[in-house]
Chains A and B, each alone.
Chain A
Amino acid sequence: MKIVIAGFGTVGQGFAEVLLKRRELLVDRYGHVPAVVAVIDSRTVVRDRQGLDLSAVLACKKETGCVGTEKYTDPIKVLDSLDYNLLVEVTPTDLKTGGAGLVNITHALESGKDVITVNKGPLALQFSRLIGLAKEHGCKFRFEGSVGGAMPIINLCHENLVGERITSVRGIFNGTCNYILSKMDNGQPFDQALKEAQQMGYAETDPTNDIEGWDTAAKVVILANSVFHRNVTIRDVNITGISTITPDAIALAASHNMVIRLIGEVSDTKLEVSPRLVPRGHPLSIGGTLNVAQIDADFAGPITITGRGAGRIETASAILSDLIAIMNIRDKGEGKHA
């Protein structure tokens, strides 16, 4: 298997590190480690038909800020010039246009390549089209890390709960908001809690996508389309963020033994992101940066999972699980890349 990594920021580098750390596992299972034949960052590309030395690429990125010295202007021309089977697409999320990720994923699927992504933009905007392209061209298209980072919600619903009728999924899908609301539980005002989240590296300089609920909405859309087989985009989500939550509201909720959490909820009829009152002790009252999801299934009843929703290694672990799932299929001779 020959892999191209598009995007070499936090998650891309994390995936390279995870591949290096799991060499033995992959050799044991498949007799070889998939070769990363190219890494593309925002300005440069580095390539080797025989497989790159990922340690050297990581070192180069750290020292120079680039993965190589070969500059490019058109990523599609770069992809067309490469011989590969699988694109790992981890460029930055753009929830308005889909950004480079949408272009790269579309092109790879149209070219018959398997794709793994954690990029929420393309999935939140054009999920149905991308799934259609994957089916049309016989490609595997996986995106576990796009919702909940290391928390295995999509594959859990698709694989372990395959015989269930899932009636609803609701949860905390944004660690930044949960950190801010947890800090407000302890008496901090919103602005101060946000600044602290930024200083800790949990919130971006422009926190709009997080605190106004857009990031959670993108995840809700991915769940709606992938788990509930709906055909919705981020524009269909009823979104309310947390920026209007006051210390008064937090205190009044606390006096009734409740906390306020930003909850994403999806079912056959609901598609919503909003702050909700949650009784203390309820699984969705969790604090800190953790993500949590409660899945309601007809036979199994409620199932709660929790985990780290972000982070370089955590998100990379989700990519690794998707990679192994694809290698399992291709290794068994199913599909055209075998």
Chain B
Amino acid sequence: MMVNAELYVKDLPGQLVGSLEPISMVDGNIVGVVHDREQIINQRIRVSVTFEVASTPQLEKLKAIWKSKDIVISKMGSVYETVTMEYLILGHFSAGYVDNLIDEASNVVNFESVDVSYSSRNGNDTRRTALITAEVRSQTDQDKLDRFFSSACREGSLVYIRGL
């Protein structure tokens, strides 16, 4: 899980490093740090850090370490990286078919967002085209979604084109 935390540490040499070391102690991975010396409250400076930890127990352990080191946690929230992929589906199908397909897909992955666009029908041509833009939380989910759409389109005799 990706976490964003706002900490206040004592304005003394070594305190910044001291606030970041515990993240490594719980096998976390630091993604970014902002050391804001203009935000001094009660002789403490603000440190905003984004990091990745594997699980909630590790996060709880980290919070305990920070408290034991007299580091104040003023805010903590989860943030996620997302992965976006486009899928173009061509063939004979209805809008209801695509809605059902997305409903079924949501049982396979957690969507952050899904957007569907359709081409306008072309004369007597009963084929239509849909472009699905799906935002998911991980590469693993994207791979699952690729496999889901590929399999569903094969079963429905539809042409399936995905993004890079």
Give the interface of A toward B (CB within 8 A): 170, 240, 244-249, 251-253, 255-256, 258, 260, 263, 274-279, 282, 284
Partner-binding segment picked from B18-26, B31-39, B95-103, B155-163: B155-163
B128 within 8 Å of A by Cβ?
A: yes
The distance in angstroms between the C-alpha atoms of A256 and B88, with both chains bound, is 11
Given contacts A249-B88, A277-B164, contact A244 B129 (CB under 8 A): no
**Chain B nearest CB, measured from A249 CB (Å):** 5
Interface of B, helix, strand, loop or mixed by DSSP: strand
Docked-complex contact B161 and A246, CB < 8 angstroms = no
B90 within 8 Å of A by Cβ?
A: yes
B43 within 8 Å of A by Cβ?
A: no
Docked-complex contact A249 and B161, CB < 8 angstroms = yes
Q: Nearest chain-A residue to B89 (Cβ)? A: A249
Q: Nearest chain-B residue to A263 (Cβ)? A: B164
B117 neighbours in A (Cβ, 8 Å): 252, 255-256
**Chain B nearest CB, measured from A207 CB (Å):** 18
The distance in angstroms between the C-alpha atoms of A164 and B161, with both chains bound, is 31
Q: Nearest chain-B residue to A282 (Cβ)? A: B164
**Chain A nearest CB, measured from B22 CB (Å):** 30
B74 within 8 Å of A by Cβ?
A: no
Interface of A, helix, strand, loop or mixed by DSSP: mixed
Q: Nearest chain-B residue to A255 (Cβ)? A: B117
Given contacts A249-B129, A255-B117, contact A276 B90 (CB under 8 A): no
Give the interface of B toward A (CB within 8 A): 86, 88, 90, 117-119, 122, 125, 127-131, 133, 159, 161-164
What are the 5 closest A-B residue pairs judged by CB atoms, nearest first? A248-B119, A277-B163, A248-B129, A244-B159, A252-B119
A258 neighbours in B (Cβ, 8 Å): 86, 163
B90 neighbours in A (Cβ, 8 Å): 244-246, 248-249
The distance in angstroms between the C-alpha atoms of A256 and B118, with both chains bound, is 12
The contact sample of 7 A-B pairs, CB cut-off 8 A, is: A249-B119, A252-B119, A252-B129, A255-B117, A256-B131, A274-B161, A277-B162
**Chain B nearest CB, measured from A15 CB (Å):** 35
The distance in angstroms between the C-alpha atoms of A284 and B163, with both chains bound, is 12
B161 neighbours in A (Cβ, 8 Å): 245, 249, 260, 274-277
The distance in angstroms between the C-alpha atoms of A276 and B85, with both chains bound, is 11
Docked-complex contact A253 and B164, CB < 8 angstroms = no
B88 neighbours in A (Cβ, 8 Å): 249, 252-253, 260, 277
A260 neighbours in B (Cβ, 8 Å): 88, 161
The distance in angstroms between the C-alpha atoms of A185 and B30, with both chains bound, is 44
B128 neighbours in A (Cβ, 8 Å): 248
The distance in angstroms between the C-alpha atoms of A213 and B52, with both chains bound, is 42
**Chain B nearest CB, measured from A258 CB (Å):** 7
Q: Nearest chain-B residue to A265 (Cβ)? A: B164
Q: Nearest chain-A residue to B122 (Cβ)? A: A248
**Residue with the greatest number of chain A CB neighbours at <10 A, chosen from B117, B125, B129:** B129
Q: Nearest chain-A residue to B91 (Cβ)? A: A244
5 further contact pairs, Cβ within 8 A, besides A256-B117, A277-B164: A252-B130, A252-B131, A256-B86, A276-B164, A277-B86
**Chain A nearest CB, measured from B130 CB (Å):** 8
A255 neighbours in B (Cβ, 8 Å): 117
The distance in angstroms between the C-alpha atoms of A51 and B163, with both chains bound, is 53
The distance in angstroms between the C-alpha atoms of A211 and B109, with both chains bound, is 34
The distance in angstroms between the C-alpha atoms of A249 and B119, with both chains bound, is 8
